[in-house]
Structure 1
C-alpha cells in the first residue's frame, strides 16, 4: 500500500474514475497505464483506472479527476491510500465472448454488475459490444442481459394495471406518434408511463419535442407521482436511471455506429420492463431511408421481439409501417410540438398522415389489452381525439410536468431566419429522403436549437409545379442557413418524376 497526496484536477473525464500518477513512481512500483488501483481515505474508497504523467505530478502525489474526488469527498492535499488491484472478473467473460463462446447467465450478470459499478474501461466495453456485433447473441444471452439491466437499474412501482407502452425503432423524420398516443391511452383510464429518448442522430427525439412544452427530467419518485395523478407521462428516460448499464453500453455503441441486434433488443425490452409495462406495441418502419430496408428484416425483428418478451410474460404486438418518408409536417422540436397541438385541437393544420398512423398504432395497443374487440381500436382512438378527451388529457400531462396547460400552437414561433426549397420541375414526388431531410434539419440547428427545423408543404406522392415550395427551413442564425445551402448543393432531399 502506498500513501500519496491528493491533487485535485478540476476536469471531468466523462467515464469511469481515472487517476494520474507520476511516471517515475509508476516505474519503481511496476504500475502501468490502464491498470487499476483502489484509492481509499477515512470515509470512502473507489477503484480507478491509472493514467501516467511524466511532468504533471511529483512522485508523492496522485491526481484525481472530478468524478474521482467527488466520490471520495476529498480535498486538495489530503493523504490517500493507494493499492494496485487486478482486472475485474468480467473481463474473462468478455474475452470468452470474443472467442465466439456462449456466455452463461451468471457471466452476463457479472458483466452487467461491473458495468454499473464502473469497473470496466471504455476499451473493455467496446470489446464486449464488438464481440456481440460480430458473433451475435443467443436468445438465452439476450434474455440474461435484459434481466440484469433491469435488476441493476431503477424501477417504477405502479400498482394500477395494465401498464401500456410503445416503442418505435426510429429512422423516420417527424413521426411524433408518442405525444398523441399517450394522451389518448391515458384519457381512456389506462396507465402509460412513457420514457423517451433525446436525439442522437435525428432532428429531434420525443423527449426533445416534449421539452418544448414541459419539463422532461424527473426522479423516479417524481415520475411515479405524476403518473398516479394523471395516468401518463412523456419524460426523458436518461434522467431516471432506469437502465444504467444500457446507458453506458449505448454511449460506446454510438460513436462506432454499432447496434448489435441482441443488445438493441435487450435495451428496448429492459426499459419497458423497468416501467412495469404489461402490454407493448412495437412500430417497425421499413423503407429505403429507414433503419429497416426490407419486409424480411422487419419480420425477423418481429419474431425476435416476440421470443424475448415472451420470456418475461409481456404481451406485445408489432406493426410494420411505411418508413419511406417523413410523418407529419414539422421536423424539429418546436415544429413537431406544434403539429401535435394542432392535431389534438382538431385544427385543420394538423397533419393527416400523423393522425392516421397514431390512431392505427393506438388502436392496436388498445386491442392488445383485450378490452376492445379486434378492429375497433382505431375508431376508439379517433373518438378520443374528436371528442377532445385526448387534448384535455395532454394538457393535464403538460401541467403535471411543469408546463403551461394553456399553451397554443400560435405560441410556438419557429426560427427567424428562413430558406425556401422549391421544386426544380413539375411532377410527382417519388422519394422524400429521410436521411437528407434529417441532415438539413440538424444543419439548421436541431435539436440543440428547438426553434430550428423544417416545415413540409409537400410530401411523398404529392404533385408539384416547377418553382412551388416543397418546404421551408427555419434557423436562429444566418450561419445555420449557410450550412443548409451547402448541403442542398451537394444532395437533393426529394426525387421528382
Structure 2
C-alpha cells in the first residue's frame, strides 16, 4: 500500500521491467493506481522519483493490464540504472519543480536570441536529467538550420564546456582533429593519431559515436580496442603513448553534447550551429589548443559546395578564436567514399591495411590520412608543409605508426580482431561498365539498414572507386550483415536504388 511522506511525496514499491527505452528514463504506473489519480499524473507526465540520495525525473507511461500492481511502479532500464534500487524497495514520487529554463527554449522558438545565461541554464537542466526527450528535441529544433548567429553559437559552446569536466595536460600544445562527416568510410582518425603521436605531439582524441552515419570513430575503434576509458585510464594512456582514441561520453567531457546527440540521431538533425558547438566544446573540454577540421565537400556529402564549406569555416574559426582555440580547416574531396569499407569493422580492416603498409591497402585513405597528419604537424611543430609531410610519411612507411597504434590499443585494454559478418550479398554489374559517381547518402543508408553501426560487422564493402571498370556479373559492392533479416532489408532497398553507384555502359 502506498503511503505519503511528511513533505507530501508518495511512497511506492519499484519493479524492474527490463524494458529498453534507449537513454530516456521511463516509469510505468497502473491507471487505477491511487497515486496516479490523486496526484493527477497522466501519460507523459514528468515525475521525480527519489531513492535515498539518488533521483531521476522520468516520463510516465500509464498501463491498464497486470504489468505492474496498483501499489508499485515499473522502471525502464534507463530509470533503473540511475536509481540503483532493487525490486520491492520503496521510492518516493513527486511532481518535479517547474522547469524554468524551458521558457528560454520557447523564447528561442519565437525568434529571440539565446544568451550565455540562458544556454547555461538549459545545459545545466539537460545534464541534470530535467528535460524529457521531447523537450530536448524542441531545443534542437529551435537551434536548427541557420537560427543561431555567432554570438549564440559561442554562448552554446561555452555552456556545453561548462556542463562537464575540462582536462589540462600541462603542455602548451595539444593537437586534435575532427571531420564534419557525411563521407562514408572516412576513418582517418585511427591513422592520424598514431602518426602524429609517433612524431612527438600529444593528441588525446575523444570521439563520438555515429550520429547519422554507419560508423563513428569510436564505433570503429571499439572493434579493435576498448574505448570506454575513464579519466584516470585516459590520462595513463596519453602519458605512456602520447595519444589515445576514446569515446568522449565515458570521460564526462561536454556531457550535454552526448545527451543532445542521442536526440539528434533519430531526428537526423545536424545543423551548422549545433555541429560547431558540439565539436569545439569537446575539443576545448579535452584540453586541445590546436584543432584541424576536415571538411569533405561533394554533391552528396554533408557539405555540398565550397561556399557552404567556407561559411562553416568562418563559424568554426570565429567561435574557436572566441573560446581560445586555434582552429584551421581543410577542404577535402567529398565526391565518393574513402577506402573500401563502410561500417565499423569493415572500416577497421581498411585502417589496419594502411597501418601495415599492405599492398591492397586503399590508397585514398592513406593519402588523406597523410595530408591531415602533415597539416597537424605543421600546426603543432611549426615546421614547413614539406617537412611535415615527410615526417608523416616516414612514420607510416617505416612501421613506427603501426607500432604506436598497437601500443595505444594495448594501453587502452588490449587489441582485438574486428568481427566478420556471417551474411553477405553482392550487388552485381548488369553489363560491362565503369563507375561514374556515388551517392554517399544512399550508400550510408544501405549500410545502416544492414545493421551498422549497432551491428559492428555490418555495412558495405566497395569493389571499386570512381572510374573503376567491371565486367557483367562482377560485384560492384557487397552488403554485409549479422542477421538474415537485416541483410534482406538492406538488399531490398539496394536493389530498388540502381543508381546509388552510378555506372555507364562500355562497349
TM-score (norm 1): 0.89
* Secondary structure in 1 matching 2:384: coil
Cα distance between partner residues in 1 of 2:69 and 2:8: 14
**Residues 382/18 of structure 1: CA separation in 2 closer, same or farther (3 Å cut):** same
1:147-177 CA-partner distances (Å, limit 9, x unpaired): 1211111333322341111111111111111
Deviation at 1:433, TM superposition (A): 2.4
Matched with 2:3 is: none
2:475 equivalent to 1:496? no
Matched with 1:446 is: 452
**Residues 465/72 of structure 1: CA separation in 2 closer, same or farther (3 Å cut):** closer
**Residues 171/47 of structure 1: CA separation in 2 closer, same or farther (3 Å cut):** closer
1:63-96 CA-partner distances (Å, limit 9, x unpaired): 6655556655556666655554441210111111
Query: Is the CA contact 1:177–1:354 (under 8 Å) kept in the aligned structure 2?
Result: yes
Cα distance between partner residues in 1 of 2:94 and 2:491: 57
Deviation at 1:428, TM superposition (A): 3.2
Cα distance between partner residues in 2 of 1:226 and 1:93: 41
* Secondary structure in 2 matching 1:258: coil
Matched with 2:305 is: 294
Cα distance between partner residues in 2 of 1:413 and 1:336: 11
Deviation at 1:3, TM superposition (A): 5.2
Matched with 1:271 is: 282
Corresponding pairs, count: 492
Deviation at 1:277, TM superposition (A): 0.8
Deviation at 1:188, TM superposition (A): 0.9
| Matching residue within 419, 423, 427 for 2:429 | 423
Over the aligned positions, Cα root-mean-square deviation in angstroms equals 2.9
Which stretch of the first structure deviates more once superposed, 430-439 or 310-319? 430-439
Cα distance between partner residues in 1 of 2:223 and 2:156: 34
| Matching residue within 224, 239, 248 for 2:259 | 248
Query: Is the CA contact 1:6–1:75 (under 8 Å) kept in the aligned structure 2?
Result: no
Query: Is the CA contact 1:154–1:241 (under 8 Å) kept in the aligned structure 2?
Result: yes
Deviation at 1:136, TM superposition (A): 0.8
- Give structure 1 stretches of 5+ with no counterpart: none
**Residues 361/7 of structure 1: CA separation in 2 closer, same or farther (3 Å cut):** same
Query: Is the CA contact 1:197–1:237 (under 8 Å) kept in the aligned structure 2?
Result: yes
1:392-425 CA-partner distances (Å, limit 9, x unpaired): 1111111112223xx7xxx667334443333333
1:305-354 CA-partner distances (Å, limit 9, x unpaired): 01110111211211111111111122332232222222122221111111
Query: Is the CA contact 2:186–2:338 (under 8 Å) kept in the aligned structure 1?
Result: yes
| Matching residue within 442, 458, 461 for 1:455 | 461
Deviation at 1:471, TM superposition (A): 3.1
Deviation at 1:280, TM superposition (A): 0.8
| Matching residue within 189, 200, 214 for 1:203 | 214
TM-score (norm 2): 0.87
| Matching residue within 158, 181, 187 for 1:170 | 181
| Matching residue within 197, 203, 206 for 1:186 | 197
Deviation at 1:451, TM superposition (A): 3.4
Matched with 1:88 is: 99
**Residues 109/350 of structure 1: CA separation in 2 closer, same or farther (3 Å cut):** same
Query: Is the CA contact 1:19–1:48 (under 8 Å) kept in the aligned structure 2?
Result: no
Query: Is the CA contact 1:155–1:242 (under 8 Å) kept in the aligned structure 2?
Result: yes
Cα distance between partner residues in 1 of 2:441 and 2:368: 20
Query: Is the CA contact 2:479–2:491 (under 8 Å) kept in the aligned structure 1?
Result: no
Cα distance between partner residues in 2 of 1:359 and 1:451: 27
Matched with 2:24 is: 15
Query: Is the CA contact 1:157–1:224 (under 8 Å) kept in the aligned structure 2?
Result: no
| Matching residue within 212, 221, 226 for 1:215 | 226
2:159 equivalent to 1:148? yes
Query: Is the CA contact 1:330–1:453 (under 8 Å) kept in the aligned structure 2?
Result: yes
- Give structure 2 stretches of 5+ with no counterpart: 1-6
